[in-house]
Amino acid sequence: MGGLNLEVFKFGIYILFPIASMYYFGTNLDSRFSVPDFWPKREETHRIPFERDEIRMELERLKRQRLQRRKERLESEAQKDGQRERLVERE
């Protein structure tokens, strides 16, 4: 059917296509897939306290944070319970 030239052309395409696609998608990967400011800066990372005072201050901060979240959770639950009671009274 086809001649030798057709077979050579097909072989060239079979070889060239994967190499060309690997070259196209494989070059310039750093700029193509980079996410700016992905890694946090040194000041933004967690700093592990080593001194006794720093540890105490960090524990107090965590306790305040935990109590604040608990207070907000209890308030939202109380608000939801109040709404449920009003719905029950209407029925």
Whether 38 contacts 30, CB under 8 Å: no
Whole-model pTM above 0.75?
no
Structural domain boundaries in the chain:
1-36
User: C-alpha angle with apex 61: 58 to 67, nearest 5 degrees?
Assistant: 140
The pLDDT score that the predictor gives to residue 57 is 94
pLDDT level of residue 16 (50, 70, 90 thresholds) = very high
Burial-class residue 58 by CB neighbours within 10 Å (0-12, 13-18, 19+): middle
Instruction: Answer whether residue 89 shows pLDDT above 90.
Output: no
